[in-house]
Amino acid sequence: MHDWGPAMDELHRAALRAAVLRHIAFISYDLETALLQCGSPPERAMLHALAIVAWDWGDGVLFRTEFGASGLVATKGMWVEIEPQAQVGACRVDFLLTCRLRDPPASAKLVVECDGHEWHERTREQAQRDGARDRYLQSNDLAVYRYTGAEVWKDVFAAAYEAVSEPHAPVRRGLRARQALIQARLDLGVKAG
């Protein structure tokens, strides 16, 4: 930091504080908007966890809702799109996650389902219906991560981490390859210069 004197240092701190508060307000509004689409307490807990874990893994989180898309996404790198109550073909899923890499362009998708006891596997018919949905989604190249309500309440962050890390694996390899290429170019430039 430059030594511009106490007045400029105070101005810098005030500007930084205002930027951080604005950033928090945007994220809070975007998350609250996405929470409106969650149908159950386990889904709301999962959305919070997915957002936190996705932010930790990437350079931003984008929420896609019936109200539009909103969130903070970096201009470079990787981000995660979280779409609660997404329509995938004939199925409505709890969450559709899309991990995106800007350069080189790449993406990977998966489905996260939070199964409360009152809606899933209470009867043989419900279990069969869930199985048929999973097979349909998998036939459309979507991995399905299905968590019971008990799993969500036991450790929602472990479940979110498992789900978010899956689509990131190939995209993160692409990001590492891009970073290695940039570094190689810099190294060549340094050696040539």
Residue reference for tokens 């309440």: 153
The Cα 181–Cα 186 span in angstroms is 9
Token output for 121? 């596997």
Residue 60 buriedness (CB in 10 A; 0-12 / 13-18 / 19+) = middle
Please list, in sequence order, all residues whose beta carbon lies within 8 angstroms of the beta carbon of residue 71, skipping any fewer than 6 positions away.
Answer: 26, 27, 30, 60, 61, 62, 63, 79, 81
The Cα 62–Cα 163 span in angstroms is 16
**According to the model, what pLDDT value does residue 86 have?**
93
**According to the model, what pLDDT value does residue 26 have?**
56
**According to the model, what pLDDT value does residue 43 have?**
92
**According to the model, what pLDDT value does residue 16 have?**
67
Cα separations in angstroms, 166 against 57, 108, 116, 119, 136: 11, 9, 23, 26, 19
**According to the model, what pLDDT value does residue 25 have?**
55
**According to the model, what pLDDT value does residue 85 have?**
93
**According to the model, what pLDDT value does residue 35 have?**
84
Query: ∠120-84-20 over CA atoms, to 5°?
Result: 135
Token output for 38? 């969650």
The Cα 64–Cα 116 span in angstroms is 23
Walking along the chain (193 residues) 10 residues at a time, the average pLDDT comes out as: 62 68 63 84 90 81 79 70 92 91 79 74 78 89 89 91 73 58 68 44
